[in-house]
Structure 1
Amino acid sequence: MTRRIILILGLVLAICATASQGEWKMRIHKGGNIDEHLCADIDSVTFIDVFAPPPMVTVPAGVFIMGDGVASCGVDEHEVTLTRDFYLGQHEVTNQEYLEAVQWAYDHGYVTATTSSVQDSLDGRTEELLDLDDPEGDCEIQFDGAGSFYLRESPSSFAQDAYPSGYNPADHPVKEVTWYGSVRYCDWLSLQAGLPRAYEHSGDWSCNGGDPYGAQGYRLPTDAEWEYAAQWDDERVYPWGDEAPDCSRANFSSCVGWTSPVGSYPEAPEALGLSDMAGNVWEWCNDWHTCNLGTSPESDPAGPTAGSSRVLRGGSFYHYYYDLRCAYRSLYAPSYSHYHFGFRCARSH
């Protein structure tokens, strides 16, 4: 639970009262500015624990060819221009990062939770964000029913076979998270940072009124941003280059059998310092999915304005080598969750 430490300044005020020269003041330094407050005017000070946003890297604006002529739903090739730099999560959001955020959200009344599910509660919404009691016990985040979230090793056969001696789930990517749970995490980051929320939690949950590139808050990467970052910046087939996948480059198929801690593989693309752009867990993207993107040039594409499924990228520990191609595009309904679905955050520069 988020811990609030309230310091009643009785001792300070007692010292102020016995000071021989005038009244004491408190100086607060922030961003080069100094604010002064009379001690006698302060009743209490509240320190609130907050959660840290995941580390992010800058991806410069540029032009690339989206699609590679081979990958599923990536056969169409067309020129795409991204007109502005953007930040992208250095790694997939971890169990620990999501746990700290959902605890904060629960403490602030932004979600409701039972031992089986976490649901949205902003803007009158009730969509499931995190499935805590899937039949195989895949989710490593749990809720005790009394107000606190905690981590546990997954009891699933996949996890136990992969780590028979046990493992620490903290740095493994969060899983069993729906698309709604992914964008809601982004909104929690925005709320904590004092930024406008990127997503509307009514209607079609559009990002910044259909203009994700203009959003001030945290969000999911667009379909185009994700592929652009993954193939940076030489139209490579896989995030590490054109060499065929093997278990030293990514966690896929039968390499591990379960997720790996984020950052376990060589950073790829190396120039950006991103990790796990291929394998580990599929990553939700902002866009509605359509398979045929066409061949006409586009600038800052936001994808279809409506649909039934959202884009997933990057493959997973459970899937095969051909899913790891930078241009491979998968899809699922935004309400669906799975043990190999996760995400990473983005934000416009």
Structure 2
Amino acid sequence: MRRRLMLMLGLAFIAGVATSQSEGMWKMRVHRAGGSDEYLVAEVDSVTFYAVDTLIAPPMVLVPAGVFIMGDGVAWCGVDEHEVTLTRDFYLGQHEVTNQEYMEALQWAHDQGYVTATTTSVQDDLDGSTEELLDLDSEWCEIQFDGAGSFYLRESPSSHAQEAYPDGYDPSDHPVKEVSWYGAVRYCDWLSLQEGLPRAYEHSGDWACNGGDPYGAGGYRLPTDAEWEYAAQYDDERIYPWGNEVPDCSRANCWDFHGSGEACVGWTSPVGSYPDAPEALHLSDMAGNVYEMSNDWWVCDLGTIPEIDPTGPDVGSYRMFRGGGWADDFCMQCAARGCIGGPGASSVDFGFRIAQTAGQ
């Protein structure tokens, strides 16, 4: 839990300050990131100061071990069908990691000397790695760095964001974007370091997870390809996380090709804006909003031989991305496996959610 140092300013004190002035009212001006916000002191009930010295992992749900058919016979790179057995319960992030969650972790990592940052980029600085974790230079990135040691959030100045939210929006609960696969697994390791858990990922070579055994990792990690699909279709082999109905704007934030042919939102939406799907696990945005990175290297055809706790190829050029994003309706099926990205790539609709093996 976060350790908080709290300073409470009582109403009596505030009233005393306000009434001590014969004319006008006191205002409080808070400065940060080159701007300022003003508040009427008389309207403030209390002020809480706290040090973010301990990170809190996003909420997670328990997914029980089980057996399922991976692939559905028709989805992109999901034509092959085979039985997969997952022998370990695991936890999966209830929602995609948000800008606020990532920024707090990033600030902690920067303060610890685990990353280096400029106003245009965040790079890894552990184990000799210098991989880019977050592209701050993109107009689509809602996390920024002031050049003096502090990260902050902003509304994206892009036309997509401005048209989607003409009256403005709060980016804190939107999924983090412009983060690379390296930046996603780095976030997992920051959480592990905070909790005294072993880091799951190597930060050199092929960045293997727990020496190639992600299911045995003690720390936080990305879900394997099999874990993601198993959770998305839990537990009735459904085509989409919400069932068998085609995507539309009531079910996911995507580009509604099957309906109006227009964007549902035109930008990301706050996590959890749509009904949980699959409802049995209370997971949100498993399809739509942002593509979600998995632990595995990408391969299209998985074959038909049954597998136990599969880990995907040992090497590759691309990482598997799942679930589709706000800018299209591709890869929305639980079994769709054709959406990929290089581990150093970032985009306006690339994001992730975390996982952890239970009982480790």
What TM-score results when the alignment is normalised by the length of structure 1? 0.86
Between the aligned partners of 2:224 and 2:54, the Cα distance in structure 1 is 27
Alignment deviations for residues 108-145 of structure 1 (CA, whole Å, 9 cap, x no partner): 000000000000000000000000012xx000000000
The alignment status of 1:264 with 2:266, answered yes or no, reads no
Counterparts of 1:111-190 in structure 2, within 5 Å, are: 111-134=115-138, 137-190=139-192
The alignment status of 1:337 with 2:339, answered yes or no, reads no
Aligned pair partner of 2:287 in 275, 278, 281: 278
The residue type equivalent to 2:335 in the other structure is A
Between the aligned partners of 2:332 and 2:165, the Cα distance in structure 1 is 24
The equivalent of 1:212 in structure 2 is: 214
Q: Give the secondary structure class of the aligned counterpart of 1:227.
A: helix
The residue type equivalent to 2:286 in the other structure is M
Q: Give the secondary structure class of the aligned counterpart of 1:87.
A: strand
Between the aligned partners of 2:327 and 2:133, the Cα distance in structure 1 is 22
The equivalent of 2:300 in structure 1 is: 291
Shift of 1:49: 2.3
Between the aligned partners of 1:323 and 1:303, the Cα distance in structure 2 is 18
Q: Give the secondary structure class of the aligned counterpart of 1:324.
A: coil
Alignment deviations for residues 163-221 of structure 1 (CA, whole Å, 9 cap, x no partner): 00000000000000000000000000000000000000011000000000000000000
CA separation of 1:128 and 1:3: change in aligned 2, threshold 3 A: farther
Shift of 1:272: 0.3
Between the aligned partners of 2:332 and 2:52, the Cα distance in structure 1 is 41
Q: Give the secondary structure class of the aligned counterpart of 2:144.
A: strand
Between the aligned partners of 1:49 and 1:199, the Cα distance in structure 2 is 23
Between the aligned partners of 1:319 and 1:185, the Cα distance in structure 2 is 26
Structure 2 gaps of 5+ residues are 6-50, 256-262
Counterparts of 1:1-349 in structure 2, within 5 Å, are: 49-134=53-138, 137-253=139-255, 254-320=263-329, 322-329=330-337, 330-349=339-358
Shift of 1:50: 1.8
Shift of 1:4: 9.9
Between the aligned partners of 1:327 and 1:112, the Cα distance in structure 2 is 38
Q: Give the secondary structure class of the aligned counterpart of 1:79.
A: strand
Between the aligned partners of 2:4 and 2:118, the Cα distance in structure 1 is 23
The residue type equivalent to 1:346 in the other structure is A
Between the aligned partners of 1:318 and 1:194, the Cα distance in structure 2 is 38
Between the aligned partners of 1:153 and 1:328, the Cα distance in structure 2 is 32
The equivalent of 2:48 in structure 1 is: none
What TM-score results when the alignment is normalised by the length of structure 2? 0.83
Shift of 1:323: 2.1
What do you get for the CA RMSD once the two structures are aligned? 1.3
Between the aligned partners of 1:318 and 1:325, the Cα distance in structure 2 is 15
The percentage of aligned residue pairs carrying the same residue is: 75
The residue type equivalent to 2:245 in the other structure is E
The residue type equivalent to 2:312 in the other structure is G
The equivalent of 1:20 in structure 2 is: none
Between the aligned partners of 1:116 and 1:3, the Cα distance in structure 2 is 31
Shift of 1:51: 2.1
Alignment deviations for residues 30-51 of structure 1 (CA, whole Å, 9 cap, x no partner): xxxxxxxxxxxxxxxxx76222
Structure 1 gaps of 5+ residues are 6-46
The residue type equivalent to 1:295 in the other structure is T
The residue type equivalent to 2:199 in the other structure is R
Alignment deviations for residues 281-309 of structure 1 (CA, whole Å, 9 cap, x no partner): 00010000000111100000000000000
